[in-house]
Each structure stands twice: as structure tokens, then as C-alpha cells.
Structure 1
């Protein structure tokens, strides 16, 4: 099971490292989402040492795969993100479009004949579109997260963005990276991580603040997410689908959040080839689930 969980963690990291679908979506597609959420909940709330050890063992296996793949993704993605933004965005949209029917299929009993809950999809769409549209970072100058530009205001902004992003990462829906893209922090955070990996520690203070936000987000939201999925699953599935649909708009507008803002993606800059590659990767992950279930 170590190799399987390593691969699972790596797949989650590849999703978390790019705007599109979340690592939670990948966990959902690969069939271990409930175990993932329950393990996180056990870690932050259960008093039983035995249960905590079991959760830590599972999460550690996932974590090693996640860290390995995330570092590799950062080193690659940051080098091509700004220069090939429209191709990468087309790839992200492929992730989203092809993941939606998979989630519908996996939870169809929570969707069929419960169509009044479509209002939660509308709420999800409006929420993401509104955050994207009214985001002050869109269309403005990119953020410099180095120590020289660190301020109390920026630190608070990065901290709370980290909290929000990690909440999205554990939900099967909009990715935390998409939210970072919306708030204008995706490229700066990824570039900052790359700089630290290259032994340039000017970005380390802001990354530590971001990490503290991530840890706080897990501690504060994981029980709520678990409760809602357990007791209001149909409403949550509709809401998640709304977040995913809305995130398409966020990805289209992603080019406007770069350090040197570009125009939003349009039909002329959209790449059908990279869209198809994104879709093929999601479908391949669904097939991988079948392999894992046979183990």
C-alpha cells in the first residue's frame, strides 16, 4: 500500500500545484477521499493515540508522494506558467470540464431527484465569479512577496489567503491554486517556493506566513467540511459542482493576475490540444482508480 499511497499523494500534488481541480477532486476520483478526510479529522480532533497513529501513518505515505511531486511541479510549472499562460490555462480547463461528469457519476444518487439543490450550484458559480471579478489584484500589478516588500497588510492577506486556499484543496471542487490565481498570489507563491528551493531565502518569511495560514485553515475547516459532506452531502455536491463551473471563468481571467498582466483568454488564444491533454489526464486517473481497487 505504500507505493499506492505515494502515487495517490503525487497525483494530489500535481492537481494542487495548478489551477483547475483540487487535490480533493483527485482523491475523490481515485476513491480514497473519505479516508483522507477522516484521517485529517482524526489528526486534529480525536484523542485516541491508536487512531492518531493510524491517521499519521496513512497521511505520511500520502505526504511523501505529495511533497515529491509538488517540488517537481513547482520547478517545472513556474518556468513555463507566464510564458505559456494560455496553453496552461487550456490544460486547466480540460481538467475541470472532464472532472465534472466523473463527480456526477460517482455521486449520482445525491444528484438525481434532488434538483432543488441546484440553487447551491448557482451559489457556487456566483461566489467564484464574484471573487474573480471584484478581486483587486486582477488587471493590476503583480505582487512581490520578497522580504523587502513584506508589510503587516500583505502578511495578513497572505495568511488568510492560505487559510482559504487549503480549505478549497481538501474539497472535491475548485482548487486552492485557482483561488490563489483569483487573489493574484498563484504566480508569486509558486515563484517564491522556487526561489527558496534555489536557496534564495528572501521569500521565506512570506512562505512561512502562508504555511501558518494553511495549517490554521486545516484545523478550523476540516471538521466543518466533514460534517457538511456527511449530513448535507447532496447540497455539498451541487455546491462543489458550482465551484468547479465558476472556476472556469477564474482560469480564463488568470492571465490578468500575472506580474505583467495579459488579456483574458479568448477563443483565439485557447488551445484545443492542451485542453484535450488535460481531459485525457483526468480520464487516465479514473482508470487508475480501477487499478487501485484491485490491489
Structure 2
């Protein structure tokens, strides 16, 4: 928990929120990873954990000002506002980039996530058999999840509520992408279209699911960090490494399944030299290096603690 911040510090929190929002628009990239490398992850989890009955009792007994301070409200408000602004502003742009320039976009995020593996692993104070084992478990679990075939698009409101809750749990975990979970569940396209078309029925339903998922999952994560910090970080590092399977830039389409007007694409990763089309290798390498370097630039702007 931080003390009082000035306007400049809040502006940095806003930009970090925007970066988290942009990451969540890309299936396979986790906003939690961005939160970790920018130095706000544990404050984010702790602040979410403050949304509970005791905090609201503070409002009743000591007034709104004491409640807002106990909640760490300025931090959460600025962070979530940054995320909301970027999601509403860049959803169309990210959809267009993924449709028309997928290889350099995926290469950029591949480099960014790869650098995040080293960054999070560096936070582990002591490696031992348990941390190595959980690192391997996290890698295998994330690799398995990212290898699952996506589902057909689904638009029922109860299912979208469930999708929002599950996706936000994934978003909070570095390495596990909330938007990729939406792809697996078949909700990604529905939610992206709702954002683009300002379909507030869908947006509010998913938002309520997000709130439910956040409030339940944050408590678990905070407890793990307080009692098993190193092995929790090892597991998260494994998640990030395993998620690289999903964002490899070069893929071969194996099957396209038509379900009414919807299509489900089954693909596999291939070498750029076996890619069917222009692999844009030089540009992909350049973008991967930019993404890789960006993590260490973000590290320098993050708090040292």
C-alpha cells in the first residue's frame, strides 16, 4: 500500500492501467504480466482484497474519507480508468492489427512475454526443489491450456457473466491471458463486438462477472503471496513461459469448422521457414526485440520495492 501520490505518480498509474488494458485485448497476453513488470502487482492484489465488509464498516463508522483511504481507492480508480480507456479506445485498432498484420503484432508480444519470464523469475529470492517443481507445473499447465481448441462463439448472458469472472481471474495471473480464456470459452468475439458497438447489456453483464471474479480470487492470491511467496512466483513464472505457445507468430491452419455464421480455427505452430506465405521474418525479429526491450524499460520506471 502506498502513501499519498501526487498528480505525476497518478498519471503513471493511469498509463500502466492503459498498458494492462491493451494487453488484455490480445489473446495470449496477460494484463497481470504488465502489472508485475511495472511494479504494481502486489499493491493491485492487496487493494482488491480490501473490497470487503470490514472496509465498508469503516465508511459507516469513520466516514467516506477513511473508507477511501482504507480501500486504496485513488490507486484502484486511476488504474481501472486507464484500463477502461484503453479497452474502449483500442479494441477496434487491435482487432484490425490482428486481422491485417498478425505476425509483427504476435512477435512484439512474444518478445514482451519472453522478457517477462526472466523478470518474474528474478523476483524469486531462493530457488529449491519445490520452486523448480512448481515452475515446471505452471509451464505444463499453461502449455496445455493454450493448446486447447477454441469454442464456437457463445452469447447467452449467464454464460457471458461466467466468462467475465473466469477471464478476470486469468488476467490477474501473470502469463494466463484473460482474453485467451474468452477465446477458449467462445465469448471473445461477442465481447469484442459488444465493446465496438457499445452494447451495454453485454458490457454490464460481463462487468458484473469481472467484479465477482476479482473479489473472490484476489483473496486467494494475497494469502499465497503472504505465506508462500517464492513458490507462488515460481508457479507464475511457469505460467508465463507456457503461455508463449499461444503467441508464437507463425501458425498453420489445420481445420476451419463452420458453425452457422461462426468459424472455429484449429491451428498449429510452425517454423517461419515452413510458414505458408510471407513470414516477414526481419520485421518480426525487430518487433520481438522491441517487445523484449520494453520490459526492461518498464522495469526502470517501476518502484524498486
After TM superposition, the score normalised by the length of structure 2 is 0.77
Contact 2:167 2:179 in 1 (8 A): yes
RMSD of aligned alpha carbons: 2.9
Q: 1:230 to 1:291 in 2, by over 3 A?
A: same
**Larger fraction in helix:** 1
TM-score by structure 1 length? 0.79
Q: In terms of Rg, which structure is larger?
A: 2
Q: 1: CA distance between counterparts of 2:46 and 2:66?
A: 10
**2-side partners of 1:278 and 1:20: how far apart?**
15
Q: Of 211, 224, 228, which residue of structure 2 is paired with 1:215?
A: 211
2:226 corresponds to which of 224, 230, 238 = 230
2: CA distance between counterparts of 1:170 and 1:182? 17
1:117 aligns with 2:131: yes
Residue of structure 1 in register with 2:300 after alignment: 290
Partner secondary structure for residue 270 of structure 2: coil
Give the SS at the match of 1:261.
strand
How far residue 219 of structure 1 moved from its aligned partner, in angstroms, is 1.3
Q: Counterpart in 1 of 2:111?
A: 94
Q: Quick one: structure 1 residues 108 and 187, their matched pair in 2 at CA, closer, same or farther if it must change by over 3 Å?
A: same
Counterpart of 2:52? 44
Deviating above 6 A after TM superposition, structure 1's stretches of 4 or more consecutive aligned residues are 253-258
The answer to whether 1:65 aligns with 2:82 is: yes
Aligned residue pairs, count: 273
Question: What's 2:5 paired with?
Answer: none
Q: In the alignment, is the contact (CA less than 8 A) between 1:42 and 1:52 conserved in 2? A: no
Shift of 1:51: 5.5
Distance 1:276 1:225, change over 3 A: farther
CA contact (8 A) 1:95 1:278 kept: yes
Unaligned runs of 5+ in 2: 1-8, 60-64, 257-261
Counterpart Cα distance in 2 of 1:144 and 1:19: 17
Deviation at 1:22, TM superposition (A): 2.0
| 1:32, distance to aligned residue in structure 2 (A) | 1.9
Shift of 1:96: 1.6
Distance 1:82 1:265 in 2: 18
